Amino acid sequence: MALDSVTKEIQAAAATEVARIQKEQAEEIAAINAKVDAEIAEVKQKEDKRVAETKETLARQVSSSADLESKKLVLSKKKEILTEAFESALRQIESVPAKKKLAYYQALVASAKTIIPEPKAVMSEKDDFSAADLGVKSVEKSASVRSGLLLQSEDGKVEVDMQFEVLLQNIWDSNLKQLSDILFG
């Protein structure tokens, strides 16, 4: 019976030790779980913050990109309107009656004579004015001249470009801001 009592005592001590170890283990597991949960919460909070910042950045980029694209479209349309206005003005100048066009050409020649005293004129193949009409030494026709005149010295070293397109472009360029304000407010 003494052996029975020792066996029971050993079993009871073992059960107590097992219970103590299980309790320590449960406490250790709970502490580890709490620590892991806290770390997971911290990582999740950081990741949520990063995701929110990324969303904000992407939203700003999308908005900025859309604004830029919108501005590009508006600018492109304004450029198209300005080009149409330029071409329309040029067509109107080019299509004036011959008598008025001759007066324009004579004024251009008079202006150029301060640089070239006796110029020769190069004009469009569509124009039919003589050297006497224009007050120049001679007249040549060229397909490269759309309208207006190229006035040259006899030796060809000095040239004054009085083509309507060039003159209009110079006026256009120097007044582009005012033209834009008139057309687009």
Tell me: the pLDDT tens digits for 25-77? 988 988 888 898 899 999 999 999 999 999 999 999 999 999 889 988 988 88
CATH label, 97-184, candidates 2.60.40.420, 3.90.1150.10, 3.10.20.30, 3.30.2320.30: 3.30.2320.30
Report helix, strand or coil for 147: coil
pLDDT at residue 176 above 90? no
**What does the pLDDT read at residue 3?**
73
Q: What local confidence, expressed as pLDDT, does residue 185 receive? A: 67
Residues in the chain: 185
Domain ranges for the chain: 97-184
Residues 80-97 have a mean pLDDT of 89
Over pLDDT 90: what percentage of the chain? 50
Q: Which stretches of the chain are DSSP H helices?
A: 2-94, 98-112, 131-134, 164-174, 176-184
Give the amino acid at 152: Q
pLDDT at 14 over 90: no
Q: What is the pLDDT of residue 159?
A: 93
The pLDDT score that the predictor gives to residue 81 is: 85
pLDDT of residue 1: 56
Nearest to 81 by CA among 182, 164, 163: 182
Q: Are the C-beta atoms of residues 144 and 160 closer than 8 Å to each other?
A: no
